[in-house]
Every structure is written in C-alpha cells, then in structure tokens.
A and B are shown apart, each in its own frame.
Chain A
Amino acid sequence: MPARYRFILAILVLGGLVTGPFLVTSTLVWMEMNPGQRAQLKELIVPHLPMGALLTALGFALGLAVVRTLFRQYVQGLLRMAEHLRLMLGANRDFRVSVEDGPPEVQQVARAINDLAAQRDALMADVEAQIARAKASVEEEKNRLAALMSELAQAVVVCNLDGRILLYNNRARLEFHALAQGPTSVASGALIGLGRSIFSIIDKSRLAHAEETIRRRLERGLSANVAHFITTTASGQFLRVQMVPVLAPGEPEGGARPMTGYVLTVENITRSLEQENARNRALLELTQGNRAALGNMRAAIETLQDYPDMQASERERFIQVVAEEVGRMSRQLEATAQRFADATKTRWPLEDVSADDLIKAAQRRIEALFALPSKIEALEDNLWVRADSFALIFAMTFLAGRLVDHYEIRELRFRGLSEGQLAYLDLIWSGHAMSSETFYGWEQENMQVGQEHSPVSLREVLDRHGGEIWYQREKAAHRAYFRFVLPLAQAVPEAAQLPASAQEGRPEYYDFDLFNFQAAGVDLDRNLMDMAYTVFDTETTGLEPAKGDEIIQIGAARIVNGRLLRQEFFDQLVDPQRPLRPESIPIHGITEEMLRGKPSIDVVLPAFHAFCNETVLVAHNAAFDMRFLQLKEARTGVKFSQPVLDTLLLSAVIHPHQESHRLDVIAERLGVRIVGRHNALGDAYATGEVFLKMIPLLAEKGIHTLRQALEASQKTYFARVKY
C-alpha cells in the first residue's frame, strides 16, 4: 500500500478514535432510557453540544498534526533515504546520506549506513588495487613471453585442444603467409590468427594422432612427451611439426596431469625434402643402374675368360657388350654427379614405435570403422620398429577395409615377428585367395579409409619406410596374409618418471586464461564481447553497384575476445576492370596506375571470404558494402552468409537523438582517433575501434547478444531507409 493511502487511513482511524467512544457511550445510554428521561437529557445536553463539537474538532486537529509530523519524519524520511541508498549502490558511490535530518533514531540509522558505505569503499578500493596489481603482473608475463616468442627463429603456435590458435609468433605468421597459396597470399596472415582453427593449415587427423601418441606416452610415464610428424599442406608443401603438450597446472590427480593444449613448432621442409629426394634418386640410380651394367660386364668378361675357345664373331659380341656397358656406366656416373647436390640430410621422420602399440591402434581403428573382429595371433616381446605410425596405421586400416569390401572377411589376425634386422607385421585372414593383379592395384592407388583420403599410396608409404609389402598364401591353413617388412628399431626401455625437481625447472607461461578461450563459430545468443568479428571497408569506383561500379580496395581486420587485432589484417587493391571515375580519385586516392596488375575481384573475393570465416561481419553503412559483395555472389560462387552488424545502425540505436551518424562524427563522439581515413584498411580499423566502444554502451541499453543487436538495428529509423 503506498504511503499516501496509509496516511489517509491513519487519519480516518484517528477521527474514529476521537469521536467514537463518546458516540458509542451516548448511544448505549440513550437506548437504556425511557422516553421521559430522554426528553430530560435532550434539554440538558443540546445547549452544550457546540462546545463539545468544537473541543472534539480541536482534539482531532491536534492528533492530525502529530500523525503528520510522525509520518513525515519516519515514513517519508526513510523513503528518501532509501532512494539515496540506491544512488550509493549504483550510480554514485561517493554519495552519503545526510545525518542532520530527521529524528535521532533515523539519524543513527543514517550514521550506521554511512559507516557501512565507508567500509565497503575501503574494501572495494583494496580489491581494485589487487586486481590492478594482478593484471599488471599478468601483462608483464605476457609481454615477456611475447618477447621470447618473437625472438625465436622457429615458427611457434600454441593451440587449445579444439585446435584454436591461442598464441603465435612472428615467424609463424611469415611461414604460414608464405604457405598461403594463390589468392589467399594477398592477405597478410589470412590463414593464421588468434581464435582461428589450426586445422585449416595442418591436417586435423594428423594432429589428433600426434595428440593421442602424446597422451599414450603420458599414461605410460615416458619422459619424452614429444610427437613429431611431417604433413603436407593443401598447396603441396611439406611441414615438419613438433608437438609438445601443455599440461594443466597444479598437482597431478592420480597419475598424469591432463593435457589442455599443445605447442607446435613448425618448419617448412619442402625444399630440403626435395633435395633429399633428388639425392636418394641419384643414389639409387648409381647403385642399381651400375649394378646392372656391372653385372652385364662381369658376366661377359668371365665368359670370355672361361671359354677361350669361342669363335671370333662371338668374342666380338662379348667385347661389344663390355664396351657398351662401360660407356653406359660412365654416362650415368657423370649425370648423377651433376645432379648430386650438397643437400643436407633430411629424412622422413620415423619414430621408434612399439609393434604392440601400432597393432593395437590399428585394431581399434579397424574394429571401430568396419566392425571387424580382430585378434593378435602372435607378437614377439619388445618388438619395436622405425615407422611413421600414422601412415602405417592408415595403411593397415586401408587394407582391412579393402578386404572387408572385396572378400567379406569375417576376422582379421595380426602377427608380429622379427628376423635379423627386419620386423614382419602380418595381416592374416582366411578365405578367398586374391589375385596378385588386384593387390598390385591396391598398392599403387592413393589410399582411402571411409571418407578419409590419403595423398599417398601404400607403395609410397612403404618406400618412405624403406620397407616392403607383399601378399602371401598359407595354403595348408587356407589362409593368406599381407606382410609388412619394416626396419627394426632398438627397443626403447620404459623411462622412469622424471623426478619432481626436474619438472619444476621449467617456467610456466601459460597461466593466463588463454586456454579457456572459445571461439566456436557464430552463435546468435552469445555475448557480443565474446565473439570474433571481421571489421571491413571497401573503396569503390562509385556509389552505384547496380550501374557497374566496382570494388577497388578491401581492407579488413579481426576482433577477437574484445581486442582489435591490427596485425591480422586484409588489405588488397582490386582491378575493377573498368576505368575509374576521375571525380572519385581525390576521395580514395587510388589511381589507375596503382590498380594495374592487381588481381580481379574473382580472385580476391574467395580470399576475403576465407579471411572472414567463422566471424561476424562489421562495417559502417554495411548495406552499401554488402550490396557490392552480394552482386558478385553469382559470378564468384562466394556467399557471405554470416550475420552483419552495421556501426551506423548501432550508433542510431545508442544515440537516437543525434543528427549525424557518419563514421568520423561517431568516432569523435566516442573519443576514437582516426588515422588514414578513406583508405579501406584505415576505415576498417576506425570502424573496429568504434564498434568496440559501442559494445558497453549497447549493454547499458540491455543489448547483450548478437541477436539483440541485430533486432535493435533493424528497428531503427535508418534501417528502414533502403540504400
């Protein structure tokens, strides 16, 4: 009940109290009297009634005054104080309740409240100081790490278990930039970026396999928790990758500490691998080629020696053979010597793997993929091979899949043996015999398991291992098997757990929150602050895309985790394939000459699309830029389907009563300094800064999520004006 009604009620009750007892008494007395007594009483009372009424009214007025004073002091005073308290809680922390007003009790309450507020302020100041100190130390650690990383000559990338890039150094940026093929090379660091997925650069299954290998080693307590592998990129480059796990900080709970991410050091070894291959080829030609020539000569010469009685014509032919072969050998030697470069020795990295691990991993995959039961028939103890375990397991799985598809085998058995320096891994099945042609076919084609395609064939995998494979029958047992022959490795003894003191020595630079970072896709209901954005701007030949105006420049940068990443930018001039309008040149400052030889929009748009992958687009007056992009959809096949936020509309949402929502005006309003306007990248940066300032202002309006921001934008006046 509002205070006003309670006041009126109090007045009514007071009125009742002042008049009530008298009236009730009089009525009771009146009822008990006989008519004679009543007439007598009337005569007696009536002359005194005005005085009685006056006194009653006086009493009532007095009571009213008292109630009113009390009400003002206690009820209204407290209400006022409550408002002040709200103010202290929210908008103005420094506000204090007045202790002079009101009755002593209220003053005491006010004093207590002010004391509480003072205590709160002291606590808050303390907390803030602590946060500031912690922030500063984190910042310092970060800087130290950044400095350390940027000094490294190796490309380093840190990822969480989802493959999101959390950290990378300059070398990695350069390395991957060089890797980017074709159109994407127009964008600086288009492939690598914070929050982006490493899987676009390095094959996901290879990384998963390396991760699995490390996990297995951690479980076994092996000290070398590093995995190496070589992988090929989409552009056919070879990368040598080393993976080191990042373990969860703190004490291990019952065994190994869980892995929370990994550090990759990446090296492009395409060149050295090519050199190595050339060298190997040369070596092979020298040995095998010369073996044959030498064999021919030796046979001929020995024949000449052993059969001196041969006819002259026969002798002539044998001498001819020797002469020919000597010539052939010389030529071969010469050719090889020329090609033999001083390449550094690079080899396909083979690791020492226990055959047990290898076979069990293959078993798991085969059982999972084909529901094919399998069993280990025989396995030598401590059998270790030198192998690229990923490729080898893939090869085994591939063969198993083929057997299932073509021969409907019902069980697969494994066998691991050694002989001399060679290890034999056999895949055994019973049933139909296969033709050797079929197997030679399988050997040569690129392997495939389910949806996974391998760029190499079984033959190539074995060549890399310096191994062999063949198909053999065990007729007596009505069985057949594939035999993998691999070089034997020295058995690796299980290493003892490292002493705790050795593990302490390593500095831990990963205690900032990076590992909790998530940037999975575009979710409309996520907080605006937590999303990844691409802010972009275009320069065009004119304002009318429908009439043939074209994009001549695209500039873009990324926002991840509330930070504008200026180093992850896209900046590209585009040949519009039509003349510029002379009047537009002063605006954007781009001349015909600057555009000569630049790629056309057909090439640039797919690259830009890749740059925007998994982000929300942000632009100022986005409708204009989007129209240019959309007009090209049909021709380039590139569709920008992600949500788009427009800083012009958002500005109208935040400040509906402002007249201008031009980018420079908004920037000034929000205190953002713009450098290099009317350059697409400069404008994109400015838009990004402005957008970041807008996020908290939108939150004040109750707009927290992307969906809310899009809805609010749509409702603004500006949105209804079609461009």
Chain B
Amino acid sequence: MTHKILIVDDEPNIVLSLEFLMKREGFQVAVAADGEAALEQVRAFDPDLVLLDVMMPKKSGYEVCEILRADPARSAMKIVMLTAKGRDMEVAKGLGLGADAYVTKPFSNKALLAEIKQLLGEG
C-alpha cells in the first residue's frame, strides 16, 4: 500500500523538489500552499503524513498542527514540521504542540526521506 503525503508550503521552489522526491519514492502526493488549504486537503486527501511549513499565510504551521492534533480521529497521522525557524524555542514549541519530527531548513533529502520512512514504518 502506498502512503499518502501532504506537502504544505507556500514556497513553490521547495514544493517542486519535495513533490518530485516524494513521487519518485513512490508516495501519493498532494500539495497545499497555506494553512487553511492544508486543513481542507487533510479532510479530502486523508494523508498518512503531513510535511508542514511553519511560516505560511492565513494559518501558521503551529496552528495547523494544533488543530490536527485536537482531532482524535487523526491521531495516527504523522506530522513533520519543516521550517526555517531553527531556534531551540521553536523546535520545543513544534514538538510540544504534537509534531512527530521537526526538520530545519536546509535539510538533506536523504535524511528527510529516512525520517519520513521511519515514521511511516517503512524504514
């Protein structure tokens, strides 16, 4: 069974790489460009894992994470925060709000893939 990954980021330049990467690795991929679109896509697409950027228009990644985690039906869904905010505080906040992993930009594709696969139980 192929896992479904939702990529949430407002920067097309990173979305391009992530989308290509995930598709090549055999995942089913959907993309959202802001927080509200992300919540819609979660409902529609029902992903197994969300790659979530923190700084986005409309709703921040923190908010999206919090809302997703408040929904008990989706407790199995993995959330990976993917952000340029790299201070201890923000990492602590992301994890505190229920993210499964917090990856700081720039990251290595390989490391990210390894992290994702491990979270999805593929690795």
Q: Do chains A and B stick together as partners?
A: yes
Binding site for B on A (CB under 8 A): 287-289, 291-292, 294-300, 302-303, 306-307, 310, 314, 317-318, 321, 324-325, 419-422, 433, 436-437, 440, 466-468, 470-473, 483, 485
Task: Identify the 3 closest CB pairs spanning chains A and B, nearest first.
Answer: A295-B105, A299-B17, A291-B84
Most chain B C-beta atoms within 10 Å of own C-beta, residue among A298, A314, A325: A298
Contact A291 B86 (CB under 8 A): yes
Most chain A C-beta atoms within 10 Å of own C-beta, residue among B11, B62, B106: B106
Could you name 27 residue pairs across A and B whose Cβ atoms are closer than 8 Å? Answer: A288-B86, A289-B84, A291-B104, A291-B105, A292-B11, A292-B14, A292-B105, A295-B14, A295-B105, A295-B107, A296-B17, A296-B105, A299-B17, A302-B108, A303-B109, A306-B109, A307-B20, A310-B20, A324-B13, A420-B88, A422-B92, A436-B63, A436-B66, A468-B89, A470-B66, A470-B97, A471-B66
Contact A299 B109 (CB under 8 A): yes
Contacts of B24 in A (CB 8 A): 307
Could you mark each residue 1-45 of chain B with 1 if its beta carbon is under 8 Å from any beta carbon of chain A, else 0? 000000000010110111011001000000000000000000000
Complexed CA–CA distance, A294 and B89 (Å): 21
Complexed CA–CA distance, A292 and B11 (Å): 9
Contacts of A288 in B (CB 8 A): 84-86
Contact B16 A317 (CB under 8 A): yes
Majority SS at the chain A contact face: helix
Contacts of B11 in A (CB 8 A): 292, 296
Contact B13 A296 (CB under 8 A): yes
B81 → chain A closest CB, angstroms: 13
Docked complex: B50-100 residues within 8 A CB-CB of A:
62-63, 66-67, 70, 84-90, 92-93, 96-97
Complexed CA–CA distance, A297 and B66 (Å): 29
Complexed CA–CA distance, A466 and B92 (Å): 13
In addition to A289-B84, A296-B105, A471-B66, 9 A-B residue pairs with Cβ atoms within 8 Å of each other are A291-B104, A292-B105, A294-B105, A295-B84, A295-B105, A299-B14, A299-B107, A303-B17, A472-B96
A635 → chain B closest CB, angstroms: 50
A303-B17, A321-B13 given as contacts; is B109 within 8 A of A422 (CB)?
no
Complexed CA–CA distance, A321 and B106 (Å): 15
Q: How many A-B residue pairs have CB under 8 A?
A: 98
- Cβ-closest chain B residue relative to A468: B89
A295-B106, A296-B11, A436-B63 given as contacts; is B90 within 8 A of A468 (CB)?
yes
The contact of A436 among B67, B85, B89, B104, by CB within 8 Å, is B67
**Count of interface residues, chain B, beta-carbon cutoff 8 Å:** 32
Contacts of B87 in A (CB 8 A): 466
A347 → chain B closest CB, angstroms: 16
Contacts of A485 in B (CB 8 A): 89, 92-93
A376 → chain B closest CB, angstroms: 21
Contacts of B20 in A (CB 8 A): 303, 307, 310, 314, 318
The contact of B96 among A318, A433, A483, by CB within 8 Å, is A483
B13 → chain A closest CB, angstroms: 4
A436-B63, A436-B66 given as contacts; is B107 within 8 A of A298 (CB)?
yes
A648 → chain B closest CB, angstroms: 70
Contacts of B84 in A (CB 8 A): 287-289, 291-292, 295
B101 → chain A closest CB, angstroms: 15
The contact of B17 among A300, A466, A468, A470, by CB within 8 Å, is A300
Complexed CA–CA distance, A413 and B58 (Å): 33
Complexed CA–CA distance, A485 and B89 (Å): 7
